[in-house]
Structure 1
Amino acid sequence: MTHRLTRDEARRISVRAQLLDADRPGDVVEVAEQLGYVKIDPTATIAPAEQTILWSRIGWSYEAGQLQKDVEIDRLLFEFDGAFRPVSLLPLMLPAMRQWPRRESSRQWLEANARFQADVLARLRSEGPLLASEIPDTAQVDRAPDGWSGRNQVPHMLDFLSRQGRVAIVGREGRHRRWDLAERVFPPDLPELDPVEAAQALAERRLQAVGIAKLKSPWSQVADAGEPALVEGSSWKFRVDPEALAALDDDAGRVALLNPYDPMLFDRPRLAEIFEFEYVLEQFKPQAQRVYGYFAHPILLGDRFVGMLDAEVDKERQALRVNALHEFLPFEAEEHDMVRAEIGELGDWLGLPVSGLP
């Protein structure tokens, strides 16, 4: 059976799947289990992505220390490939990790650095957990600089070994990762899954996180999980999460201020197709070409994107300074009050007064 949805229904499914409706989640683990990951990014005009992604869902009761506790003490989440992920996903990810790398150049670099691999693993086994800076670089063959990392080959090797599930991040000191052997970080006796079974289960979890996505989308990567759906006014073939469809209601939602790296914004084609929102991150644009600001946060009101918040923490004046509040269409009085209230809540969460709010 192919489900037929209006655009409003498709948007509401997506908003609820991303925990951005009026029914807020209770804690960090609940968010991570539903979304599948919490992106890590240090850009902090307001706060780092991993913090604002959680605040935008949990709200005033979220404290930054909760995330660290769940990762480093309770081990309910683990860090992998630039995101915090629920441990429940690890058995689904391990089959693909064990087949990594697929790219020939990466395989050749690992093979050429067999002694370097052994050195890193031996150092972690005897002295770990360690920062990358505490591990000697004994590489036989260097990788060319990529513009993001320097000549030191240790971070490259740790990244490669983590993608294979052989080492893992045990915690952080500031923005620096502390590494150890995966066998001492990951839970013991994880279930062994067939690669095909694991890939299908991962696709289903990805669909759970977005609610509805294009069939075999390279962005959402839901493959053929869920059930087929068509959306009014779209020529796309969609897949919809049947549980999300069953929970569809007329909830009016709320205001959410989204970090530019929020997972709600990741699938840009879907944003345009369902939400009619052409989102462009202006962080890497020359200043003269920016329309909304260096790191402006999209504003979601209910199931529609209504504007952009250009704001930043003014450390000198100890305030959350609003540089501009862009309205795609002029706000009605009630909408204006709701958006202002959410910006005020953001300031309260940061422990800062809000300045410059029109």
Structure 2
Amino acid sequence: MMGELALSQLRFLTLESQGLTKPYPFGKGKDAVLKTVEHLGYLQIDTLSIVERAHHHTLWTRIPDYQTAYLDELVEERKVFEYWFHAASYLPMKDFRFVLPQMLNVKQSETHYYNADPKVMKYVLDTIRAEGPKKARDFENETKRAGSWWSWKPTKIALERLFLQGDLMISRRNGMQKTYDLTENVLPKSINTTLPTDLEFAEYLVKTYLNAYGFTTVKQITHLKTGELIRRNVDKVLKSMLQARTIQLINIENRPPVFVYKDLLEKSLNRTASSIRLLSPFDNSIIHRDRVKQFFDFDYKIECYTPKEKRQFRYFCLPILFGDTFIGRVDCKAHRKEKEFELIHLHIENTKIDIELWINPFLELVKNFATFNNCENLKLTKVSPIKFTDKIRQVLT
């Protein structure tokens, strides 16, 4: 068994692996965006825009000079693509072959939730093949023609089904508006399209999580991957890596067994001054809620999907990370028309850390985030505990 020293070391290693300990961990500009996506393995897409959308927020957290156009450009340059990881995500184009098993599974499924009409699917494919890339709204216009026998909704379902089974890819994106094209027109010729074996797929998952997080658990690797076969293959890959001494197994009391790259454990910890981060609820570092609770003692849940009367921290709280400690969360909203960024409710949960250590860098971070959200002014509405309100307002002004 290993104790608090190992736990502290693991926290630092995973934050460093996630790119959350240095100002420019992956460099600057558009090249840094590609490096970030390739290192993290995926980037979750979310439609909520209370503040800047999750995929852009997650990149801005690691790339201070990030511009939202960079991601769209990488899609058009065929360096990243959209598909499903544990949710809708951007993935490195080099990893395309590892989504093939899921595409095949969708194609062979007759009970998939995108249960599209085969005739409509054929119509959509034929139209794109003949006329070129299409948005969903292009088909909406078609349905308004006299004599049309289909409606817009079936074409949207057909587009999504064809996308999920790999016949179509998203070739361009404007905000949340997607443009679909034939996969053969989008996928670079150099990309490996060999279907991975079950063992290769398990190895891809294991190495993706180890590279992105520094350490991982079996539960994290198999997150939302059902079936005994994937679990057996993950165990097989981990056993092989343990035998090769590339990873090490660590047991910490009251926590699941951890697998960590051996060379990371052997490196000296070069800890710099504690940085502060305002994370997206869908940031890769916090998306695995059990892991965050077990190793960082932070119980986080996004409450926008929770009935209003049952919410504890309001609609869209962003976790606040100071060094290797989650010190609280803040419910925010970008009022873009008014150019005002509102801190609706700042919850300070770790009061053992002196507020003087983090309040100034936190408010500077919030100002930068407000600018990223195209807002010019800050508004502070509520603070808990209330005793910190005057101090924060004083610093804010």
TM-score range, shorter chain: 0.7 to 0.9
1:12-37 CA-partner distances (Å, limit 9, x unpaired): 12212211112522221111011112
Distance in 2 between the 1:126 and 1:342 partners?
A: 50
Equivalent residue for 2:67? 63
Equivalent residue for 2:216? 213
1:191-250 CA-partner distances (Å, limit 9, x unpaired): 225323244223311332222222243328693445342243334122224454455624
* Paired residues for 1:70-109 under 5 Å: 70-72=74-76, 74-81=77-84, 82-101=88-107, 103-106=109-112, 109=115
For 2:360, give the aligned amino acid: D
Q: Which range moved further: 128-137 or 115-124?
A: 128-137
Equivalent residue for 1:169? 170
Q: Which range moved further: 218-227 or 310-319?
A: 218-227
Distance in 2 between the 1:115 and 1:3 partners?
A: 60
Tell me: CA distance 1:105–1:287, structure 2 relative to 1, closer, same or farther (3 Å).
closer
Tell me: CA distance 1:277–1:179, structure 2 relative to 1, closer, same or farther (3 Å).
same
Equivalent residue for 2:365? 342
Tell me: CA distance 1:178–1:305, structure 2 relative to 1, closer, same or farther (3 Å).
same
Equivalent residues of 2:316, 2:331 under 8 A apart: yes
Tell me: CA distance 1:3–1:174, structure 2 relative to 1, closer, same or farther (3 Å).
same
For 1:347, give the aligned amino acid: A
Q: Give the one of 328, 332, 343 matched to 1:311.
A: 332
Equivalent residue for 2:51? 46
Distance in 1 between the 2:45 and 2:22 partners?
A: 25
- 1:94 to partner: Cα distance: 2.4
1:254 matched to 2:275: yes
Equivalent residue for 2:379? 355
Distance in 2 between the 1:344 and 1:168 partners?
A: 37
Contiguous gaps of at least 5 residues in structure 1: 143-149
* Paired residues for 1:144-155 under 5 Å: 152-155=153-156
For 1:210, give the aligned amino acid: Y
Over the matched positions of the two proteins, sequence identity in percent amounts to: 24
- Count of residues paired in the alignment: 342
Distance in 2 between the 1:151 and 1:245 partners?
A: 55
Equivalent residue for 1:292? 313
Tell me: CA distance 1:75–1:228, structure 2 relative to 1, closer, same or farther (3 Å).
same
Q: Secondary structure at the match of 2:285?
A: helix
Equivalent residues of 2:292, 2:299 under 8 A apart: yes
- 1:179 to partner: Cα distance: 0.3
Tell me: CA distance 1:105–1:247, structure 2 relative to 1, closer, same or farther (3 Å).
farther
Distance in 2 between the 1:235 and 1:298 partners?
A: 22
Q: Secondary structure at the match of 1:106?
A: coil
Tell me: CA distance 1:342–1:100, structure 2 relative to 1, closer, same or farther (3 Å).
same
Distance in 2 between the 1:39 and 1:108 partners?
A: 20
For 2:83, give the aligned amino acid: F
Tell me: CA distance 1:294–1:93, structure 2 relative to 1, closer, same or farther (3 Å).
same
- 1:7 to partner: Cα distance: 1.1
1:34 matched to 2:36: no
Q: Which range moved further: 344-353 or 47-56?
A: 344-353
- 1:325 to partner: Cα distance: 1.8
Query: Could you say which structure has the higher helix fraction?
Result: 2
- 1:109 to partner: Cα distance: 4.4
Equivalent residue for 2:303? 282
Q: Which range moved further: 23-32 or 97-106?
A: 97-106
1:161-211 CA-partner distances (Å, limit 9, x unpaired): 222221100112332211000010111142225323244223311332222
Equivalent residue for 1:179? 180
Equivalent residues of 1:93, 1:198 under 8 A apart: no
Distance in 2 between the 1:347 and 1:88 partners?
A: 34
Q: Which range moved further: 84-93 or 208-217?
A: 208-217
Q: Which range moved further: 285-294 or 27-36?
A: 285-294
Equivalent residues of 1:307, 1:326 under 8 A apart: yes
Q: Which range moved further: 336-345 or 94-103?
A: 94-103
Distance in 1 between the 2:113 and 2:338 partners?
A: 51
TM-score, normalising length: structure 2: 0.77
Distance in 1 between the 2:20 and 2:341 partners?
A: 23
Tell me: CA distance 1:248–1:305, structure 2 relative to 1, closer, same or farther (3 Å).
farther
Contiguous gaps of at least 5 residues in structure 2: 144-149, 226-230, 242-246, 381-391
Distance in 2 between the 1:318 and 1:29 partners?
A: 30
Equivalent residues of 1:22, 1:251 under 8 A apart: no
Distance in 1 between the 2:331 and 2:255 partners?
A: 34
Tell me: CA distance 1:107–1:70, structure 2 relative to 1, closer, same or farther (3 Å).
closer
Distance in 2 between the 1:273 and 1:202 partners?
A: 21
Q: CA RMSD in A?
A: 2.9
